[in-house]
A and B are shown apart, each in its own frame.
Chain A
Amino acid sequence: DQQVKQNSPSLSVQEGRISILNCDYTNSMFDYFLWYKKYPAEGPTFLISISSIKDKNEDGRFTVFLNKSAKHLSLHIVPSQPGDSAVYFCAASEGAQKLVFGQGTRLTINP
């Protein structure tokens, strides 16, 4: 039972353009959503989060959008930079409970 799904295992984007990573969830009780970036053999790095009471949160080049009715969230990175190449995980939690992670999307930024 995959409660958090990232249906695109990989994504390639040209440097300078917008990267859009998508995530869907099934548990309507989730109220906090996070995006993490991960390099091989390293722990995930927290990027940005959003509470279910909001539909958008922005931090520099990163913006997360939440569509509760569709149970969908997305991470926008603009402009994309070569250093953004990594695996991105979305995660969700209910209250202060454990995180449930998606499968990850490998983002490659091409020069």
Chain B
Amino acid sequence: GAVVSQHPSRVICKSGTSVKIECRSLDFQATTMFWYRQFPKQSLMLMATSNEGSKATYEQGVEKDKFLINHASLTLSTLTVTSAHPEDSSFYICSAGLRDSSTDTQYFGPGTRLTVL
């Protein structure tokens, strides 16, 4: 159990275009999903917390108008990188929280490699 999928796994786009990444919890419902970004040889950096039915909470320094997050259902959250530029090239990973008694364990998707030309 606790499987999280991401689509697409890899995407290459031209500068100025927008890219949508989907994150789905396949076998559980997640009221909270998280979006991370990982630069080469660095740790995961939380970008935003996505709550079903409400606006996402963005971390300091993350542009909410550039990284649009929608959490339309308990099993789906999307991240749209708008007007992508080469510096947005990165590995984007989502996670979904699964509550077990009083603790939440986050389960991660396989990640999406974005390359902006």
Contacts and interface: CB of A to CB of B under 8 A. Distances in A.
B42 interface: yes
Given A96-B99, A102-B43, A104-B43, A43 B109 contact: yes
- Which secondary structure characterizes the binding site on chain B? strand
Contact of B6 (A36, A43, A89): A43
Interface residues of B, number: 26
Q: How large is the interface on A (under 10, 10 to 19, 20 to 34, 35 or more residues)?
A: 20 to 34
A98 B113 contact: no
Interface of B: 2, 4, 6, 32, 34, 42-44, 46, 49, 91, 93-95, 97, 99, 103-111, 113
A41 B111 CA distance: 7
B42 A99 contact: no
B43 A42 contact: no
Contact of A98 (B49, B94, B103, B110): B49
B93 A44 contact: yes
